[in-house]
Amino acid sequence: MYIFLNDKIVPEPEAVVSVYDHGFLYGDGIYETMRAYEGVIFMLEKHLGRLGRSASFLKLRVPDEELIRRAVYQTLDANRLSDAYIRITISRGKGPVGLDPALCTEPTFVVIAEQFKPYAETLYKEGVRLIIAKTRRNLAEAINPMIKSLNFLNNIFAKMEAKERDAYEAIMLNAEGCIAEGTISNIFFIKGDILCTPSLDTGVLDGITRDLVIGLAKGAGMGVREARFYPEDIFGAAEVFFSNTTAEIMPVSKVEDAIYGAGTVTRALRDLYRERVTRYVEENRGRKG
Ligand code: PLP
């Protein structure tokens, strides 16, 4: 396996980062997760845009977009991958101990690409179990959830709760008790004929999949409501699903004790999403940066 580290492709055993890297010492850095279909990186420009936004929140100097784009495609090529999971990580870099970002002169830039491991089809057929975590989502005034940062303890605590309770994913509420998001996903539910999802001002990551799903639903003539919702709203919903780049649209069979039936709306949205991916791949085939 080959990794892009700073300015070149290296074999995985040589892709090592200093113990003085501030990403390791303080979680000072950012990342993006992407998915490639048949060699085409889905929504690459959106991911690069969000990476740039995360960087500006941290006042982190990052390589220019053109270089990142080339590095990502080079990593895919070096590993001869076409259906892949891709992660870009950029940390503050190596520097003496201390919180001041100015201690680090060069950011550390890493691209990892691995063969995409498909989720079991039974998960999509039967849906997955979710809990509502006791761990609350970070306040936007603390670590803004809009930053895809290496500081992931908030989500890790909620994921640990999910595992302890044998659930697939945990829904985090914000400090006021409104439904925010999953540990690595955005949450949707169907009520009446309306597709509901927490509004961005609830304090969530503006998922790229979330945005696509909203667009697809509106395009299909569905009503969409982005607002502040509470656990009672999801308990009374007809269908629930979560979204993210790797799982796309994943149906939910249970949230706490509330049970949801086979989701026809969820399935229809998933079909529309798959069509969108297919079209994107056709339109962008052969692009290498
Ligand atoms: N919310 C959080 C906290 C995430 O970590 C992620 C993705 O990893 C998402 C939402 C979904 O974002 P996207 O659809 O861009 O993958």
Regions of the chain where pLDDT drops below 50: none
Query: What pLDDT is attached to residue 210?
Result: 98
pLDDT tens-digit readout, 102-143:
999 999 999 999 999 999 999 999 999 999 999 999 999 999
Query: What pLDDT is attached to residue 46?
Result: 98
Query: What pLDDT is attached to residue 289?
Result: 56
Query: What pLDDT is attached to residue 44?
Result: 97
Which atom of ligand 1 sits closest to the CA of residue 211? 14
Query: What pLDDT is attached to residue 286?
Result: 80
Spelled out in words, what is the top-level CATH class assigned to the domain 2-115? alpha beta
What string of DSSP letters covers 191-209? ETTEEEEE-GGGT----HH
Exposure string of 151-183, with b = 16+ CB inside 10 Å and e = fewer, is beebbebbbebbeeeebbbbbbbbeeebbbbbb
| Domain locations along the chain | 2-115, 121-278
Q: For a ligand 1 pocket test, name from 31, 47, 183, 185 the mutation site with the most ligand atoms within 8 angstroms of its C-beta.
A: 185
Superfamily per CATH, domain 121-278: D-amino Acid Aminotransferase, subunit A, domain 2 (3.20.10.10)
- Which protein residue's CA is at the shortest distance from atom 4 of ligand 1? 184
Which atom of ligand 1 sits closest to the CA of residue 46? 15
Which amino acid appears at position 279 of this protein? Answer: R
As for ligand 1, residues whose beta carbon falls within 6 Å of it are 33, 155, 181, 184-186, 205, 207-210, 243-245
Query: What pLDDT is attached to residue 80?
Result: 98
